[in-house]
Structure 1
Amino acid sequence: MSDQPITLVTGVSGFVGSAVARRLAAAGVRVRGLARASSARTNLTDFPGQIVEGDARDPQAMRRAMAGVSQLYHVAADYRIWAPDTEEIVRNNRLSTQTVMDAALDAGVARIVYTSSVATLRPDHGKPSDESRPATPEQAVGAYKRSKVVAERLVETMVRERELPAVIVNPSTPIGPRDARPTPTGRIIVEAASGRMPAFVESGLNLVHVDDVADGHIAAMAHGVIGERYVLGGQDVSLREMLACVAQIVGRKPPTVQIPRAPLFPLAWANEQLARVTGNEPFLTLDALRMAAHDMYYSSARAEAELGYRARPYRQALEDAVAWFRQAGMLA
């Protein structure tokens, strides 16, 4: 076992990183996971491999983490939609990506999968978008999306100019077990399943099981083309349909009141101002309202054709998410 090559996964305390590491370990891969000392420990319990503590922005920590590593999955990211200083999200994701990729090059890592996001792709006027529609930082709505565009373009530049052996994957909206934080979509599921969401702002999103996203990462490592990107999505669903499905799973009535976006902007502004005082992330933000203006629909056709990628029906992902939230005591 000690002679087996090491695969490093960053962000293993997080939602997607935890799923990637566990799918790799289940396939017999020797896994090393990177997590910050301050990270929540929920997803580190019974971790199937070695845990090393370190910050992806710290060059020395990354050099230590890369020792003996042959393959890298860089999943870690600042996943906040909102922060008191929104540019902090952009700085964090750019710096961590630069630091991790520099360390991987110095260590001679043979192959890398970089976890980007469909946030780096432009919407296609109600039709599913795909890899052919990359966004510029100026076209991205909100700090998180802009940060992922900046980081993805950095990886592409390093592939061209420094021969970084990286494949890019773009997950859509993962849901399922181990969403410990939870993610913004996970928060909606918790609120809806607990009966605390009587109304909604209509939008569209692409739902995918987090374990299918993890399998897509592994397929990209095995079959992806260096420098190319692959959407790892599931099914396009309206928020109304998603909320109705959650209600059916838990035996509640679905919300029926649809609220227009415009009157909510003052409330979102007030929520953000309150969050600056309390330090708690607001449930409703200005950027979230701006994003809701676009149906976030995506096609995984390329990943299906080139990687053999497949995603299960979104209802199964919602069922697994609700079951995990209930077991974790997060549902009322």
Structure 2
Amino acid sequence: MGQRLLQLEQWVTSLVASKKVPFGKRWVITPVSGDASFRRYFRLTNEDRSWILVDAPPEKEDSTSFVEVARTWLDSGIPVPEVIHVDFSQGFMLLEDFGDSLLFGELSAQSVDGLYTAAMDALLAIQHVGNGGLPQYDEPLLRREMSLFTEWFIGQLLKRQLCEKEQKMLDDLFAVLVSSALEQPVVTVHRDFHSRNLMCLAEGRLGIIDFQDAVAGPITYDLVSLLKDCYVAWPSEQVVGWVSAYRIKAQQRGVLDKSVTDAAFLRWFDFMGLQRHIKVLGIFSRLDIRDGKAAYLEDIPRVLSYVLEGLHRYSEQYAECAAVERWLREQIVPSMKKLDCFKDVQL
């Protein structure tokens, strides 16, 4: 038994002794999952109930922000798990159990419209919550995220060194993407609002998890996370339709000014998607190389396809998009295919 799991069991035993939670005497802890961070999740069950235990090592993870966001959102009617007990010094939390039914596993061509409508309604509710006190999704953060692409995807995974011309080309694109993000209305942003962080609950409700990185930022960020999901893709025409429907709802609910046109909102959405997916290419590469989580490499082709699609849509209007699209297709895709894990990928 690992030292952290032993400490977690001792913490549960102390909660039992204090009678703070009705675990009873016959309880058991079983692993549920890890995620892309250093957090691990366990299910605590007794004869008739279950809870979720979170192991978030305090030297690696900040549980304070998770608890603050959880309590604020729950008080605002957002369906997030109740934080029942927390030990910040050890990095342990006891949460309400939302079960095992991820939105990801429920998606199909037949179900996606209804499920995404529910998810977009939940997102609008989040965007209504005040974002005072949340970190700002500002220019330094936007640029720092995109630098992960250069460092981990280009440098570490593909073993390429950018020349001065290539770096300038990327910097020019990044400037366009940052400008687009900063001109958008600022709302509460979950920052990882996708099918593996949404749970299907009873009576068709959706539960929201993994929200500890919430910030105050661009209105389209979470919409991109949902509709251009790194783990599942839908036809471009369908995505554009959902974006348009969301714009109308956001305007009706006062989240978005009525003067914002369909074309302007779609451009915000697409450029936000480019920023996010450029970052994710770096993150997925880092998860493989640094953290030994090779499964994320399987999702890189899908994410790169989003980037190519977004660049191509604006290649005639923006020289920065055209230049990077050409570079990716002519230089980077061939470099990828030299790696065994990507040799059969079609892009």
TM-score by length of 2: 0.29
User: Which one scores higher on RCO, CA 8 angstroms, separation ≥ 6?
Assistant: 1
TM-score by length of 1: 0.30
| Greater Cα radius of gyration, structure 1 or 2 | 2
Which structure: greater helix fraction?
2
